[in-house]
Amino acid sequence: MTSDTDLDRLLQDYLQAGPAELSDRVLWAARAQISTTRRRGRLDRLAPWREFHMTQSTRLLLVGGGGLALVVAIAAGLFSPLLGQRTPGPGASQMASPSVRASVAAPSASASASASAVAVATPAPTFRAPIVARIEATDLTAAWTVSAPSLWTPALAPDGRIWVPSNASDQIRIYDQTGKLVEKWGSTGSGDGQFTFGAAGASRNGAGVVFAPDGSFFVLDSGNFRVQHFSPDRKFLGAFGRFGSDPGQFASAVAIGLDDGGNLYVSDEGRHDVQVFTTGGTYVRTIAEGAAGDGVWGSGPGWFITTRLTDGEAGAIEYHADGTVQGGWDLRPWSCEPSGVTRDEAPRNIYLTCPSRDGGTGYAFRFDQTGTLLRVWRINGAGIAVTPDGTAAFVVSDDGTTMSRYNLGAPEGG
């Protein structure tokens, strides 16, 4: 066994070797880029990001359908100064060259024409590497199961408790690791700290919670078309978003994720895209158009995965926050509908759920961080959270009526 002292000595020797200086070529190239780079303004960080929220009645009117899109456009144009309509930060416009700019997928051209910000046109990804069942799926018995109505994606809080939103009550149900319900938090409404997870009139709404490294957390309050931010002791810190098809707005948001680089992702099945925000609520860009699904999760600094189910293509795609498509998993051979996605902290394996399409078998997959399939379990679940060490998963059933704990065993890469 190598001692600590020996290892320290070896490491210090090993790390001594390296280049002595940076080449002038790099300095020159950086300087050339800098001369054309727009700078981020101070106000980006300091500006308050509390936004106007529509009243319930206004929202229901606008949700009514594409025929009212003109109303949306007129309303946005006429009232945006009064409503404090968000415009993208100065960083947003420099992130895409004019040649790749495109409008977001919008209910109508007239609505999208009012958009002043930029969305990156991401080519529809194609799956090149279907996952063939080389690994035998194994059955897994739940360690415990709890029942509650209309559950959505669970999240693991820093204290190890499991937070799972319930659309039926507009509350977050908080369970301990043994499955005991310890608290129901929140109430119905559109005020600060209130939630409307499943709004009438919207085709479909999800809900989700994501915890930041500082212990604060974000709640996808989809029925109010916003994301709320709370301190670790649950004090309301702010909110962003409103109904609409413009950048930074939501139609039928279903999932929220956060990556290690501080990017927030909101997957929206109404808009069919994923929008990227800073943790301060500033809209960054729109990507993954046509690929948004039930799940979205940060898979690394600046990386995220969204599950996809469009036109019969079942799979999951990994993107960089700049819109680059990195790759994905083709799950069509498994005859299931990809839904939830999450990741453990070490060794950073990725987990996907894929409930059955037809009442048959659903699966949960574990991949390593390079995309290699490690394990497959027969679990017919949707929303998923895993413990930081990846040894246990909390899975909400596809019909949202139960949440179960599954002990997965030690991850292969651990």
Give the nearer residue to another protein in terms of CB position, either 54 or 341: 341
Shortest spacing between CB 286 and another protein, in angstroms: 20
Shortest spacing between CB 131 and another protein, in angstroms: 10
CA dihedral 405, 165, 243, 214 (to 10 degrees): -80
Residues 6+ apart with CB under 8 A from 112: 103, 104, 106, 245, 246
Give the nearer residue to another protein in terms of CB position, either 38 or 357: 38
Q: Let me know: does 261 contact 244? Beta carbons within 8 Å.
A: no
Give the nearer residue to another protein in terms of CB position, either 151 or 288: 288
Give the nearer residue to another protein in terms of CB position, either 5 or 141: 5
Residue with tokens 């979205």: 296
Phi and psi, residue 182, nearest 5°: -100, -20
| Alpha-carbon span 173 to 182, nearest angstrom | 8
Type of residue numbered 43? L
A 10 A CB-CB count for 33 gives 9
Chain contacts with another protein (rule: CB under 8 A): 1-2, 7-8, 10-15, 18-23, 25-27, 29-31, 33-35, 37-42, 44-45, 91, 125-126, 128-129, 213-214, 260-261, 300-303, 318, 320, 325-328, 345-348, 369-372
| Alpha-carbon span 274 to 266, nearest angstrom | 5
Shortest spacing between CB 144 and another protein, in angstroms: 28
Shortest spacing between CB 262 and another protein, in angstroms: 9
Shortest spacing between CB 289 and another protein, in angstroms: 16
Give the nearer residue to another protein in terms of CB position, either 191 or 414: 414
Give the nearer residue to another protein in terms of CB position, either 68 or 325: 325
Shortest spacing between CB 318 and another protein, in angstroms: 7
294 to 40, 227, 306, 383: CA distances (angstroms): 33, 16, 8, 8
